[in-house]
Structure 1
Amino acid sequence: MKQNIDCIRDILLTVEKDVPLDGHIDLKNLTLPNSYDRDDIVYSLKLLKEANYLNVTLTGASNTYYLVWIGNMTYDGHQFLDSIRNANVWQSTKDKIANFGSDLSLSLISQVAMSVIKSQLNL
């Protein structure tokens, strides 16, 4: 399965807005601004957990998760989201990485976004 960077961004924006401090929400209560299939969402949550961007508990077997708890974002998750939060920066970042599809790491995507921001700030 390939990472869906739009789904990843939407998850982070939603978690920041909807998950209370020291709280969590269940996957069933995660309301994303765009429509994604469950596999994309769960895979994105797994990637965010592995990247240490999000505290997530996935309970299940053989990649069939019946319980998904989404907790707070980590410091690294906030740093990543801050680099891709702005819609114009996000679109410019996606335009720059379009030739690579979803084959870039989240940290490299963040670096591209930071270069977009620096360019817009004339740094």
Structure 2
Amino acid sequence: MKLKHDCVRYVLLTLEAQGLDMLHSGVELSQLLPEMVNSRYSEDDITYTLLQLLDGKYINADYQKYALGFSLIVFDITWSGHELLDSIRDDEVWNQTKKVTSSIKSVSIGVLKNVATAVLTGIIKQKTGLPL
């Protein structure tokens, strides 16, 4: 499967909105999917994105694989996950980041974050005149 950057952003924003209940007891994938699945992202998109975010250490979760399936309980977004989310949260920054990276076929999450950070820095410089 392909990791969709828009879906990564969407999943992180949705997880952030879960509140402290998620931190204490976790939220099972079966509870997240009805809230997250929409016309843009299927159950497979959301599940794959969550698993990749776990693998990349952007979320804390318990993943158990069984002979006939798996379970996934998400507890929170990690520090790295918050750094990524904070760099791509703003719609203006996100749209400019996607525009910059759209002509490149292979853009990792790390590169995406770096481009978003550069875009954000440019916007801050432009709006404040600060020499960042």
TM-score by length of 1: 0.86
Which residue does the alignment assign to 2:14? 14
C-alpha RMSD of matched pairs (Å): 2.0
CA contact (8 A) 2:24 2:75 kept: yes
Code of the aligned partner of 2:96 = S
Aligned counterpart for 2:80 among listed residues 65, 76, 79: 76
Aligned to 2:4: 4
Q: Which amino acid aligns with 2:8?
A: I
Greater gyration radius:
2
Q: Structure 2: any 5+ residue segments left out of the alignment? A: 126-131
- Unaligned regions of 5+ residues in structure 1, if any? none
What's the offset of the Cα at 1:61?
Answer: 4.5
The residue aligned with 2:29 is 27
Which of 47, 52, 66 is the aligned partner of 2:52?
47
* C-alpha contact (below 8 Å) 1:19/1:71 kept by paired residues: no
Show the 5 A alignment for 1:33-112. 34-35=38-39, 36-61=41-66, 65-101=69-105, 103-112=106-115
Amino acid at match of 1:26: E
Contact map agreement 1:58 1:65 (CA 8 A) in 2: no
Q: How many residues align?
A: 121
C-alpha distance in 1 between matches for 2:117 and 2:37: 24
Contact 1:83 1:114 in 2 (8 A): yes
Are the equivalent residues in 2 in contact too, given 1:23–1:72 (CA < 8 A)?
no
Q: State the match for 2:128 in structure 1.
A: none
* Code of the aligned partner of 1:94: K
Report which of the two has the higher share of helix. Answer: 2
Larger RCO, structure (CA 8 Å, separation 6 or more) = 1
| AA aligned opposite 2:59 | L
Q: Distance in 2 between matches of 1:89 and 1:34?
A: 23
Q: Is the 8 A contact 2:37 2:46 kept in 1?
A: no
Alignment check: 8 A CA contact 1:56 1:69 kept: yes
Distance in structure 2 (CA, Å) of the matches to 1:54 and 1:117: 23
Question: Which TM-score applies when normalising by structure 2?
Answer: 0.81
